C-alpha cells in the first residue's frame, strides 16, 4: 500500500453512494478522508479536519460547491477539485475564477481522479509527497529516485516517470496511448513502439525476467502488479 502520511482529503457530495465509493477507494490508497453531504457541513469540516485537498460537487442543496470553494479558498491553503454533471464552459470558468484548481465532469473514472489528486499534491504540497512506498518499490519524488528492495535503480528521466506512473496505477491496465499521453506528453510525435522499448528496459532493471511485475495484457496494454 502507498504510504502518504498526513495527506487529508475532504469529499463533499450530496449523493451517498458516490461518497461511499470515493471514500473507500481513497482510503485504500492511503489517504485520510472525511466526508460531507452539504456545503455548510463542508465548511465546518474544513475548519476541523484541515484537508490538503477538497473534492467538491457543484450541485448541492443550500450552499452549492461554488460558494464552498469561494469560502474555503479565502481562509485555507486547500487545493480544490470540482465535480459536476454539467459539461458547460460557463460552469468551469466560474469554478476556476473562484479559485478551483481542477475540474472533472461526471461520470469519471477513479484512476483519472487519482491522477488529478496526485497532480494537485505535487503542485501545492511538494514536501508532503515525499516518499511513496508501493510493494517493493520506494519512490522519492524529490530525489527522482526509485528503489526496489532498498536497491536504487539506475533510471533515465523517462524511465523514472514511466515506472512511477505504472507503480502509482498498479493493478490497472494502461494502454500504450495512455502511457504516451502521461509520460511523453500529448504532443509526442513518435511511434507507440517506444513504449515497448522502455518497458523492456524497465523489466531488465527490475529483474522481471518472467514479466510478473509488468505484465503484457494482450490487445490492451500493460499492468503492473506490486501487491
Give the mean model confidence (pLDDT) for residues 210-217.
95
User: What are the cell numbers at 83?
Assistant: 465535480
Q: What is the pLDDT of residue 185?
A: 79
Q: What is the pLDDT of residues 68-86, one digit of tens each?
A: 998 888 766 889 999 887 6
- For residue 107, whether the previous peptide bond is cis, meaning omega lies within 30 degrees of 0, is yes
Q: What is the pLDDT of residues 144-180, one digit of tens each?
A: 899 998 899 999 999 999 999 898 888 888 999 889 8
Instruction: Please name which of 128, 132, 127 lies closest in space to residue 147, comparing C-alpha atoms.
Output: 132
Residues 13 and 102 in one domain: yes
* Domains in the chain, number: 2
User: What are the cell numbers at 142?
Assistant: 524529490
Residues 102 and 13 in one domain: yes
Contact 133, 3 (CB under 8 A): yes
The Cα-based distances of 185 to 179, 181, 204 in angstroms read 9, 5, 24
Cα 87 to its chain centre, rounded Å, is 21
Residues 197 and 142 in one domain: yes
Q: Is the model more confident about 65 or about 209?
A: 209
Beta partners for residue 132, in sequence order: 139
Percent of the chain at pLDDT above 70? 87
DSSP-derived 3-state class of residue 76? coil
Give the mean model confidence (pLDDT) for residues 111-129.
77
Beta partners for residue 215, in sequence order: 223
> Does 3 reside within a domain?
no
Q: Which helix (H) or strand (E) holds 139?
A: strand 137-140
Residues 16 and 102 in one domain: yes
Q: What is the pLDDT of residues 10-46, one digit of tens each?
A: 999 999 999 999 999 998 888 899 999 999 999 999 9
Instruction: Please name which of 40, 44, 35, 39 lies closest in space to residue 16, comparing C-alpha atoms.
Output: 35
Kindly report the CATH number assigned to the domain that includes residue 209: 1.10.10.10
The domain in which residue 18 lies consists of: 8-125
Residues 111 and 160 in one domain: no
C-beta atoms surrounding 203 within 10 Å? 17
Q: What is the pLDDT of residue 104?
A: 87
User: What are the cell numbers at 119?
Assistant: 497532480
C-beta atoms surrounding 137 within 10 Å? 23
User: Mean pLDDT for the chain?
Assistant: 85
Residues 150 and 68 in one domain: no
Residue 182: is its pLDDT beyond 90? Answer: no
> Does 2 reside within a domain?
no
Q: What is the pLDDT of residues 88-110, one digit of tens each?
A: 666 666 666 777 888 888 888 88
Kindly report the CATH number assigned to the domain that includes residue 42: 3.40.50.2300
The Cα-based distances of 40 to 11, 68, 145, 188, 217 in angstroms read 13, 8, 43, 45, 46
- 183/158 Cα distance (integer angstroms): 7
- 43/116 Cα distance (integer angstroms): 22
Instruction: Provide the CB-side half-sphere exposure for 41 (13 A, CA).
Output: 13
Strand 151-152 to 173-174 pairing: unpaired
Q: What is the pLDDT of residue 133?
A: 79
Confidence of residue 218 (pLDDT cuts 50, 70, 90): very high
User: What are the cell numbers at 15?
Assistant: 449523493
Amino acid at each position: 500500500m502507498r504510504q502518504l502520511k498526513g495527506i487529508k482529503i475532504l469529499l463533499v457530495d450530496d449523493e451517498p453512494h458516490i461518497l461511499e465509493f470515493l471514500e473507500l477507494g481513497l482510503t485504500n490508497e492511503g489517504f485520510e478522508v472525511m466526508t460531507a453531504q452539504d456545503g455548510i457541513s463542508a465548511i465546518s469540516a474544513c475548519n476541523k479536519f484541515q484537508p490538503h485537498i477538497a473534492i467538491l460537487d457543484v450541485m448541492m442543496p443550500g450552499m452549492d460547491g461554488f460558494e464552498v470553494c469561494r469560502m474555503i479558498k479565502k481562509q485555507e491553503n486547500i487545493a480544490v477539485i470540482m465535480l459536476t454533471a454539467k459539461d458547460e464552459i460557463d460552469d468551469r470558468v466560474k469554478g476556476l475564477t473562484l479559485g478551483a484548481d481542477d475540474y472533472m465532469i461526471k461520470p469519471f473514472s477513479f484512476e483519472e481522479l487519482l491522477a488529478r489528486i496526485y497532480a494537485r499534491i505535487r503542485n501545492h504540497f511538494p514536501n508532503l509527497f515525499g516518499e511513496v512506498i508501493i510493494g517493493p518499490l520506494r519512490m522519492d519524488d524529490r530525489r527522482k529516485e526509485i528503489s526496489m528492495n532498498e536497491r536504487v535503480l539506475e533510471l533515465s528521466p523517462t524511465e523514472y516517470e514511466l515506472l512511477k506512473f505504472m507503480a502509482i496505477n498498479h493493478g490497472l491496465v494502461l494502454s500504450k496511448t495512455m502511457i504516451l499521453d502521461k509520460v511523453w506528453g500529448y504532443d509526442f510525435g513518435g511511434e507507440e513502439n517506444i513504449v515497448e522499448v522502455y518497458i523492456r528496459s524497465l523489466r531488465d532493471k527490475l529483474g522481471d525476467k518472467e514479466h510478473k511485475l509488468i505484465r503484457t495484457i494482450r490487445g490492451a496494454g500493460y499492468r503492473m502488479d506490486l501487491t
